[in-house]
Structure 1
Amino acid sequence: MEDNTLPENSGKKPVTPRTDEEKQSVINRLKRIEGQVRGVQKMVEEDRYCVDTLIQISAINKALNRVGYSLMERHTHHCVASAIRKGEGEEAIDELMKVVQQFSK
């Protein structure tokens, strides 16, 4: 059986570091998601209706996926494209495909 897990920290650096604006955008999105998670915690504490809580959890999952796909798109355009230009595309594509597989689970 093939191991498709990725290391928690590869130790690699981005080819093109994120701009301050890009970082702030991702951080703001994650802070909104964090607020949504706190809201779900409060819903559980208040014994709110299960379906309402599940709908909020679904919204959190979608929001996290949007952040992830945004990061994946940037990675593809910068890191993977750079590796291809340098003739190192196979490894970068294999790594990207593992990430796509993780996202698809």
Structure 2
Amino acid sequence: MQGDAESMTAVLNRLKRAQGQLGGVISMIEEGRECKDVVTQLAAVSRALDRAGFKIIATNLRDCVSDTSGDGPDIETLEKLFLTLA
């Protein structure tokens, strides 16, 4: 995957945070916690994953625009990727 080190570090941090939150959701369900608490945490996991996806797309879009060799992803592909997260 392409992208500058700083952006990829941010993506990995978001994904690791989401991984921890998902583990927490699983534990909450196993413990029989309140529905609203479980859903609230699940929404936080979803937002973290969405933000990681948007960051990946934004980074690749920047690379694509600056790539003059034509080897980068095309705009149509990036738009489709973006819409899969919407």
TM over 0.5: yes
When the two structures are aligned, how many residues end up with a matched partner?
85
Q: 1:35-87: CA deviations, max 9, x gaps?
A: 10000000001000001100111111111111111111111111x2035x44x
5 Å-filtered alignment, 1:1-105, equals: 14=2, 17-19=3-5, 21-78=6-63, 80-83=64-67, 85-86=68-69, 88=70, 92-104=74-86
Using the TM superposition, give the Cα deviation of residue 101 of structure 1 relative to its aligned residue in structure 2, in angstroms: 2.0
RMSD of Structure 2 on Structure 1 (CA): 2.1
User: AA paired with 1:67?
Assistant: A
For residues 74 and 30 of structure 2, the distance between their equivalents in structure 1, rounded to whole angstroms, comes to: 44
Q: TM-score, normalised by structure 1?
A: 0.69
- Letter of the structure 2 residue corresponding to residue 81 of structure 1: V
* Matching residue of 1:5: none
* Rg larger in structure: 1
Question: Which stretches in structure 1 are left out of the alignment for 5+ residues?
Answer: 1-12
Measured in 2, the distance between the counterparts of 1:42 and 1:56 equals 11
- Identity across the alignment (%): 32
Deviation at 1:26, TM superposition (A): 2.1
Please state how far the C-alpha of 1:102 moved relative to its aligned partner.
1.0
Unaligned regions of 5+ residues in structure 2, if any?
none
